[in-house]
Amino acid sequence: MPILERAREAGVFSSSEVALLGRVFDKLKVEQQSLERREALASRLLANYLAGIRDEAELLSVSKLPLGR
């Protein structure tokens, strides 16, 4: 699962944070999604979390949107 791998690689997340990110990722992913799309989703989710969004419902909502530039 890309989100768990990325979180572990960063080495800055507790097990409860990884669980939260995993739950949100599982709700956002699509079964037939390519690996590249899932990696982009994982990156977007982590970026939102690192930006300070910690509420699960809010994280789910904002992670559905593309990252702003």
pLDDT digits (tens, 9 = 90+) for 3-52: 677 766 766 788 899 899 999 999 999 888 899 989 999 989 988 998 99
Domain ranges of the chain: 2-63
**Cα dihedral 37, 53, 23, 62 in deg (nearest 10):** -50
Q: What is the mean pLDDT of the chain?
A: 86
Q: What is the pLDDT of residue 26?
A: 94
> Which of the four pLDDT bands, split at 50, 70 and 90, describes residue 62?
very high
What CA–CA distance (Å, rounded) separates 4 from 65?
20
Q: What are phi and psi of 49, to 5 degrees?
A: -65, -45
Q: Tens digit of pLDDT for each residue in 26-37?
A: 999 988 889 998
pTM of the model: 0.77
